[in-house]
Amino acid sequence: MLVNAANFQMKCIIRIAYLTAMRKSDILKLEWKDVDVDSLDSVQEKTGTPIAFKFRGELTRIIKELKKRRFVVSPYLFLNKRNTKISDRTLDTYWWEVRDKAGVEDVVFHDIRRKRITDLTESHGEAFAQSVAGHKYRKTTARYYTPDVIRIDLPD
């Protein structure tokens, strides 16, 4: 629902957010130099934790499509309408447009991270979810695990 209401760039941002459980600020600071031969590399702004996401499946397809549609020379993967780095506030505006178009209320962008951590906890266990999220403490990951609360319609 949300992904279907988004333009190409927002679809990519939403999908990367879900696949990687990255925070909004970490996604927006992604640069092409972070795209390695076989991984997407980042250092989490909040915790300083380095993390590399191996290219597999959908993440590979998203990065290839972004490269193919790259028409502006910029160090950043995601750009605003002026072809400069998207700010948190601008992404919020884009997110609200997607929510309105999809007819979904009461969902914030950070809920994508919560949903992914919940899904990873259920499918691979809390330790794995903790490592993907870059949390230093199990207790932090446990706060994100909310199986009965989050209802975000994301395609497979």
Q: Tens digits of per-residue pLDDT, 44-95?
A: 988 888 989 999 899 999 999 999 998 888 999 999 989 999 999 999 999 9
For residue 91, the enclosing domain spans 8-144
pLDDT of residue 145: 78
Count H helices, E strands: the chain?
7, 2
- 103 located within any domain: yes
The CATH number covering residue 67 comes to 1.10.443.10
- 152 located within any domain: no
Instruction: Tell me how many domains the chain contains.
Output: 1
| 142 touches 126 (CB < 8 A) | yes
pLDDT of residue 22: 95
